[in-house]
Amino acid sequence: MKRSNKLIFILCIVLASLICTPSCSLEMGKTYTITYDANGADDGSVPADQSKIGNLKLTLASNTGNLVRDKYVFGGWNTQADGKGTNYAEGAAFTDNADTTLYAKWIPDGYTITYDVDEGTNHTNNPATYTIETETIELLAATRTGYTFVGWYDAESEGNKVTHIEIGSSGDITLYARWEIKSYTISYDKNDATGGTVPGGHTAEHGTLVTLATNSGNLSRNHYTFGGWNTRTDGRGTDYAVGGDFIAVEDTVLYAKWNAQTYEITYDLDDGDNAGTNPLTYTIETATFALEDATKTGYSFIGWFDIDKEKVEVIHQGSTGAIILEAHWQINQYTISFNSAGGSSVDSIVQDYGTAVIEPDEPTKNGYTFNDWEPVFPATMPAENLTLTAQWDTNTYTIAYELHDGTNDNSNPTTYTIEEETIELVDMIPVQAYQSAVIWCTLS
């Protein structure tokens, strides 16, 4: 049997020499030892050493001795004890030409950390898992609206406070958040009041319904009326009525809300018309504004005057009290001009608006009779300049013929006007045979 094994060995060397390079053939004659190390195992045994011949592959041992280590899982073999070398699985091919120690690779068990936050929110950096090798974990605070975080505990009630999970710890962990409800103060601010006192404040736990105070101290402010409470000094926050409900969610200062008193502006227009942009009311906070002119037919606006006869052009911010403004007017003069349309001239009339106007004498025009003015002459002076144009009727004149027993030609007209073309009269028919010509003559 030994002779047979020796023969096989020699045969292998011969075959290897036929297929190997010079360096390869040198390795074929060498034998290397592969040793296994338990590397901290708590139980079991390492596989037997193995011999590796030159460049031939070696099939590595599996965990035949059932190596175990508390809180770790066997993960194959590694060339370094700390597992940072080359990994080899059980039964893997090994090709290195060197004596080698392979260490059992231990993978730490993973454990879960469960957080019972009791309606709160866990910190995003608190880990959900860890291992026995995890560096010490400093637990971070959870948050919950209206509550102060007391800490993490290992029991739902009582138990021990847990601030960290030390390296080397093991096992699944459940941590319970413990809370202390916050208490808030609700106080009141007079907010520029010029009289009275603020009511006392309240202390209430988070979410508690509080009945707000009334204006029991009779707070007052010149030119303002009390309008309840507000979360901002300028009154642009949330309004709360006196005696209303308020839910405590944080420390809160409620400010007296002041509504500016409204004052009327009365305009005495003296039959004029006010500008639509002139306001009828204002407050102490109203921005400074200029008064617009009023209008009145036939008059020029002089300005607005107060009860002290002082002219008022603007109402400044900060003013107070009811205001009466009187419109002052200057009557306008207007001119009536006459266009005689070829007739005799008529002098213009200049008078105050609304005064009675006396109609002038009628103009005259040769060949015409005066009819009227267009437009019609007004009884009083209108609120505008006018030009009146004379309207004429053309006169019609009669032509009478003294025939002296003769006969007139039918084509001779019996009337005429100044506007007609020149009339050529047809001679009269003679009465006697001896009358050879008839001459028309005008009678003077």
Asked which of 55, 80, 108 is the last residue of a domain, the reply is 108
| Structural domain contains residue 17 | no
118 and 101 in a single domain? The answer is no
Answer whether residue 43 is part of any domain. Answer: yes
Q: What is the pLDDT of residue 20?
A: 46
The answer to whether position 215 is within a domain reads: yes
Are 28 and 101 contained in the same domain?
yes
Residue burial 410-442, b: 16+ Cβ < 10 Å; e: rest: eeeeeeeeeeeeeeeeeebeeeeeeeeeeeeee
Instruction: Tell me how far the alpha carbon of residue 68 is from its chain's centroid.
Output: 68
- 83's tokens: 């597992």
Note if the bond before 375 is cis, omega within 30 degrees. yes
70 exposure class (CB count in 10 Å sphere: 0-12, 13-18, 19+): exposed
Which structural domain range is residue 354 located in?
A: 333-394
Domain count, the chain: 6
**Segments of the chain scoring below 70 in pLDDT:** 1-29, 430-439, 441-444
Query: Both 30 and 63 in a single domain?
Result: yes
Domain-located, residue 16: no
My answer on whether 196 and 244 are in the same domain is: yes
Question: Is residue 442 in a domain?
Answer: yes
Rounded Cα gap, residues 214 and 188, in angstroms: 11
User: In angstroms, rounded to a whole number, what is the distance separating the alpha carbons of residues 209 and 247?
Assistant: 5
For the four alpha carbons of 15, 17, 18 and 19, in that order, the dihedral sign comes to positive
Same structural domain, 101 and 32: yes
Task: Give the other-Cβ count within 10 Å of 443's Cβ.
Answer: 5
Tell me whether residue 227 is in a domain. yes
Contact call for residues 225 and 259 (beta carbons, < 8 A) = yes
Distance of CA 108 to the CA centre of its chain: 56
Query: How many whole angstroms separate alpha carbon 285 and alpha carbon 261?
Result: 9
pLDDT number for residue 405: 84
Strand partners, 402: none
Given 233, 260, 287, the domain boundary residue is 260
CATH code for position 69 = 2.60.40.4270
**Domain identity same for 114 and 103:** no
Q: In this structure, are 390 and 405 located in the same domain? A: no
User: Distance between CA 112 and CA 164 in Å, rounded?
Assistant: 15
Q: Which domain-ending residue is among 308, 329, 350?
A: 329
Q: Are residue 26 and residue 96 in the same domain, yes or no?
A: yes
Residue at token pair 């809370």: 179
Q: Which of 18, 36, 38 minimizes the C-alpha distance to 28?
A: 18
Q: Clarify whether residues 30 and 103 are in a common domain.
A: yes
- 221 belongs to a structural domain: yes
Rounded Cα distance between 21 and 49, Å, is 29
Same domain, 234 and 285: no
DSSP conformation class of 18: H
CATH number at residue 157: 2.60.40
Whether 348 and 388 map to the same domain: the answer is: yes
* Amino acid of residue 167: I
**Please, how many CA atoms are within 13 Å of residue 38, restricted to the half-sphere of its CB?**
14
Tokens of 412: 């001779």
Whether 4 maps to a domain, the answer reads no
List b or e across 323-356, with b for residues whose CB sees 16 or more CB atoms inside 10 angstroms: bebbbbbeebebebebebeebeebeebeeebbee
C-alpha to C-alpha distance for 348 and 385, rounded to whole angstroms? 11
Shared domain check, 104 and 31: yes
Q: Which pLDDT score, from 0 to 100, does residue 427 have? A: 83
Question: What single-letter amino acid sits at 398?
Answer: T
Measure the CA–CA gap between 266 and 153, rounded to whole angstroms.
Answer: 75
Whether the Cβ atoms of residue 106 and residue 40 lie closer than 8 Å to each other = yes
